[in-house]
Amino acid sequence: MAVKFFGQFMVEQGIITSSALLDAINLQDKNNLKLGEMAVTMGLITSADIQRAHNAQMSRDMKLGDLLVEMGFLTLAQLNDIIIRQKNTHLYIGEALVQVGALTSDQLQNHLDAFKADQAKYISNGIELPITTTNNAIWEMTADLTYKMVTRVLDLKFRPGACTPVTVITANFMLAAMDFSGDVEARYLISVSEGLQKAIAKAILHEESVDAEPLEVLEDTVMEFINVVCGNVAAKASQMGVIMNINPPVSLHPPAAGLTIPEGHTALSFPIHIEDGDTLELLLVIKN
């Protein structure tokens, strides 16, 4: 029911053991050379050249390959040759599992088909942001995955409203927030009314009624919902080559005037109109 990578899917389903997966990952680590290792293996540069480039990287925000070209250790044509060789010799996890004897080639194809079917529900549906941010593709995926989790986890029918930039986060019964760090920096927030908080609690706790639940538990269910969404966003981002770390969620109760967006940040609001007339709001406060 979550965003997964193939190896995890196979272990979770009990088709392979975790030790077989680790064997396959170790085989990948030996086979799939990093750019510098490949350049040395191809006899184009020395380990000492790589070390010099790594030292230079400490004060330069550049990819290793670009830096090696700039420092004159490689030509652009040689860099392209290395990248092509990396792609041509890349060992994917499925093939690695076959090579360590965990699967046959026929079994691999069948399980890949099952994996693709399992993950098809998380393929992005083309949301477009109205403005340019640090990484539009990541935030469009984040909104899209939020919509999918509202359906799958909360079982709520809704209509997404238009995304708009905002300068103030309007006060509501409760907000739950999680911070992203890593390749992108942002705060993910969900704003809910009292009624929606209860609807989320019913879905998360799998209970018909939550009227007797203490406020602490009701708030916790909203925080857990965003924890699930943000964890899956981080997983999807890693498939897109972007590192996103998450911190544990917190609950917020803004003053009546709302929360002003700090300088150097862009805030986007995604209203989610629920079938019963209530509105859940997704907010992304993105560092510029």
Partner 1 sequence: MKKVLVVDDSLSVARLLEKIIAESGDFTCVGHARDGAEAIKMNHTENPEIICMDMNMPGMDGLTALRTLSVMDKEVKVVMVTSLGGVGDKFTEALKLGAKNVISKPFEADNVLRILRAL
Residue with Cβ nearer partner 1 (45 or 174): 174
Q: Whole-number minimum distance, CB 14 to partner 1, in Å?
A: 6
Stretch 128-157: interaction string toward partner 1, x if CB under 8 A: ---------------------x--xx----
How many angstroms separate the Cα of 102 from the Cα of each of 8, 95, 117?
14, 10, 21
Mapping DSSP to helix (H, G, I), strand (E, B) and coil, where does residue 111 land?
helix
Indicate the SS3 state at residue 263: coil
**Residue carrying the six token digits 């995926």:** 141
Task: Characterize the bridge pairing of strands 186-192 and 279-287.
Answer: antiparallel
Candidate list 45, 223, 261, 283; residue touching partner 1; CB under 8 A = 223
Give the nearest distance from C-beta 205 to partner 1 in angstroms. 6
Residue 5 sits in the site that holds partner 1 (CB under 8 A): yes
| Least distance to partner 1, CB of residue 141, Å | 13
- The answer for residues whose C-beta is within 8 angstroms of residue 262's C-beta and 6 or more apart is 285
Query: Tell me, what amino acid is at 242?
Result: V
Residue span binding partner 1 (CB under 8 A) among the ranges 67-75, 135-143, 234-242, 271-279: 234-242
Phi, psi of 224 (to 5 degrees): -65, -35
Q: By CB under 8 A, tell whether 205 contacts partner 1.
A: yes
Confirm or reject binding of residue 230 to partner 1 (CB under 8 A).
yes
Asked if 236 is part of the footprint of partner 1 (rule: CB under 8 A), the reply reads yes
Our finding on whether 221 is near partner 1 (CB under 8 A) is yes
Question: Among 78, 87, 105, 206, which residue interacts with partner 1 (rule: CB under 8 A)?
Answer: 206
Buried b (16+ CB within 10 A) or exposed e, 226-246: bbbbbebbbbbbeeeebebeb
Here's the x/- map for partner 1, 75-94, by CB under 8 A: it reads as: --------------------
To partner 1, the closest distance from the beta carbon of 284 in angstroms equals 18
Toward partner 1, which CB reaches closer, 148 or 169?
Answer: 148
Continuous segment of H or E residues that includes residue 181? strand 174-182
* Contact call for residue 234 and partner 1 (CB under 8 A): yes
Task: Give Dmax over CA atoms of the chain in angstroms.
Answer: 70
- Rounded CA-CA distance 282/259 in Å is 14
Residue 145 C-beta: closest distance to partner 1, Å: 11
Residues 238-267 that bind partner 1 (CB under 8 A): 238, 246-248
On whether the CB atoms of residues 271 and 150 are closer than 8 A, the answer is no
The number of C-alpha atoms within 13 Å of 260 and in the hemisphere containing its C-beta is: 3
Q: What's the one-letter identity of residue 132? A: T
Residues near partner 1 (CB under 8 A) are 1-5, 7-8, 11-12, 14, 18, 21-22, 25, 149, 152-153, 201, 204-206, 216-217, 220-221, 223-224, 227-232, 234-236, 238, 246-248
